[in-house]
Structure 1
């Protein structure tokens, strides 16, 4: 995985250097549940921020703390989950809760508006906190607003999630040019993803035992995975293969 991350970091960094300083580089990283897309997004963001820090030190004798702020951030799609209250208000709430994580249990329109906003030129002399985005809180089992900040210095945004490259409105609008600069898809064998999902559900307390965790993986996560694999946008600039390897967990 290290070699893949290094190549992607270099690729995005080159694009960043070629991009006007009031424009962000936006990348969508999709994959089925358990593919390792979250880990990849954070690894690439970390590599970009390390490269940015080294670059600033090479260019300046005295580098202030502000100048070393992160230039890249990984933004999970999970913050755009519909709340439990919204699921309960659906025509079939029992199915909505059972299928939580399926495409229809997310606020895709809000995600698309976020991408469109970040595509706008960055305001000069911007003193505000930046754009505040929601994050999913597993303790309360709901999204919580204003937990992630995309500031004006964070000019590389890596969106990661199941549906960020889905060829279905409104996801496909957000994934298309001119909004996203690139689309990446993390591919994984379904059997490998299933093992990871069972471990994840047990560790997070989502399932009480291995049998329950396996049932959730089979009846929800991997069903969603089929939709993701069969209905991805085109073109996809990068296909990254996730192996059965501890570094992807």
Structure 2
């Protein structure tokens, strides 16, 4: 199973989960810019039979966001196909012997791509990540139940915001547009996500030397 597993506390916790379950679905939640995708890929690289399934593949297409009048706040909870994401996790849980295809989000075109990620029978660890995994509104509590654990990435705003601004600029926004988007869209999302951290099983301190179980703080 393991290729090169870290000796950090999160790795010990993950090994314990894998020792108890035939397949583990691990959720990673956190605010925009907290490093969810980077952390998920880091975990997956530690194992020979793991796969990364990001929630970003369930972004609604821009044409639908335009129809709904929500494109100006893309990334908020109601700009995802939440029940489609729930159905994918249900299939992954119900059919471990089959290949289940998940969508991915292409940053170059800022659109979801269907059927891009195969989750196969040999994948014992499925790492899924996204903003809303710990949210209290339906269907997110049901999503959480489909995960063996959901971890929360804790990152200071003064680290998160510059990351986000740089990312928005990299994908085509001007510095002014990037700063406005972070202020008007990403920061309100982050506030909602931060309130949901009490639902996490484990908190990973980004950039710190330790992680700890979550006791509702």
User: Does TM-score exceed 0.5, indicating one fold?
Assistant: yes
Scaled by the length of structure 2, what TM-score is found?
0.87
Partner of 2:206: 242
1:8, 1:196 → 2: CA distance?
Answer: 23
Mark the runs of 5 or more structure 1 residues left unpaired by the alignment: 50-69, 245-249
RMSD: 2.1
Return the index of the structure with the highest Cα Rg.
1
Q: Secondary structure at the match of 1:136?
A: strand
Report whether the alignment pairs 1:80 with 2:58: yes
Partner of 1:109: 83
Partner of 1:216: 181
Are 2:24 and 2:148, in contact at CA under 8 Å, matched by a contact in 1?
yes
Q: Which residue of 169, 180, 192 maps to 2:159?
A: 192
Mark the runs of 5 or more structure 2 residues left unpaired by the alignment: 209-217
2:28, 2:123 → 1: CA distance?
Answer: 17
1:214, 1:105 → 2: CA distance?
Answer: 21
What is the deviation of 1:5? 6.8
Q: Secondary structure at the match of 2:151?
A: strand
Q: Which residue of 86, 93, 106 maps to 1:119?
A: 93
Q: Secondary structure at the match of 2:104?
A: strand
Cα 1:5–1:136 shift into 2, 3 Å: farther
Report whether the alignment pairs 1:25 with 2:24: yes
Are 1:5 and 1:40, in contact at CA under 8 Å, matched by a contact in 2?
no
2:161, 2:60 → 1: CA distance?
Answer: 24
Aligned length: 205
